Amino acid sequence: MSSNPKLEDNLRAAILAKPDAVLDDKDLMQALVAANERARGDNIIDLRGIAMQRLEARLDRLEDTHRSVIAAAYENLAGTNQVHRAILRLLEPAEFEDFLRTLGTDVADILRVDRITLVLETTAAQRDPGIAGLDGILAVAEPGFIDRYLSHDRGGPARDVVLREIHQPNRLVHGDQAGELQSEACMLLDLGTGRLPGMIVMGARDPRHFSPQLGTDLLAFFAGVFERSMRHWLS
């Protein structure tokens, strides 16, 4: 007697003990179905098997879509939490200079960007060189600069939030890191009646970090909170 019958008995006993394990094993079931089809011969077409294969393919696609939706939901939740943490940190300083430094340091770290710059438009007579050089966080520009910067390469009116790759780095906006940054998020700020506009620019070394295909709702929310804080400081 060979050992094959004993092996077959053991295998048969294992299958009878846990038949659900066979049914739940996709590869094993496919192998059994394929063996059954070979036993029938080439002159028989199993329409039920073909239908099942198509259903399996659809199920695989649905499962892939489901995983993608879940991953996107988690990513969006993580992004929401980051923005909320950044806003809470931004509301802590009691002095304007600390407020600006927090934007360029702690807030940048929380949002995982390489640089944040606040750009304010002002006339030449109103410029304060001391404030303009505040740790490279605050930059001042002539009236009309922000509109031109936001509408660059588009030719249309400026949008409130612009995400794009950086093709022509602007040293006024990005300072010494102008040559390192590859993408940016630009947010227009309404600082109140009678005041020139402002702009927050977030820069990243990754060219895909701020892609035009990404949503802008969270950044628009961040900009809305920031511009209200700025109105408070400027009042």
What one-character-per-residue DSSP string does 33-86 give?
HHHHHHHH-TT---HHHHHHHHHHHHHHHHHHHHHHHHHHHHHHHHHHHHHHHH
Q: How far apart are CA 147 and CA 161, in angstroms?
A: 12
The per-residue pLDDT for 173 is: 92
Residue 73 burial (CB < 10 Å; 0-12/13-18/19+)? exposed
Task: Name the superfamily (CATH) of residues 94-234.
Answer: GAF domain (3.30.450.40)
Give bridge partners of residue 99 from the DSSP assignment: none
Residue with tokens 């995982």: 112
Mark 15-48 as b/e (b = at least 16 C-beta within 10 Å): eeeeeeeeeeeeeeeeeeeeeeeeeeeeeeeeee
User: Strand 115-121 vs strand 138-141: parallel, antiparallel, or unpaired?
Assistant: parallel
The three-state (H, E, C) secondary structure of 89-117, written as one string: HHCCCCCHHHHHHHHHCHHHHHHCCCEEE
For residue range 4-23, list pLDDT tens digits in order. 445 577 777 777 787 777 77
Q: Please state the pTM of the whole predicted model.
A: 0.67
Domain segments of the chain as ranges: 94-234
The per-residue pLDDT for 45 is: 60
Mark 140-176 as b/e (b = at least 16 C-beta within 10 Å): bbeeebbeebbeeeeeeebeebbbbebeebbeebbbe
Per the CB < 8 A criterion, the answer to whether 116 and 198 are in contact is no
Which among 202, 141, 140, 194 is positioned nearest to 174, based on CA atoms?
202
Residues of the chain with pLDDT under 50: 1-5, 125, 130, 132
- Kindly compute the dihedral angle of the four CA atoms of residues 159, 161, 167, 168, in this order, to the nearest 10 degrees: 70
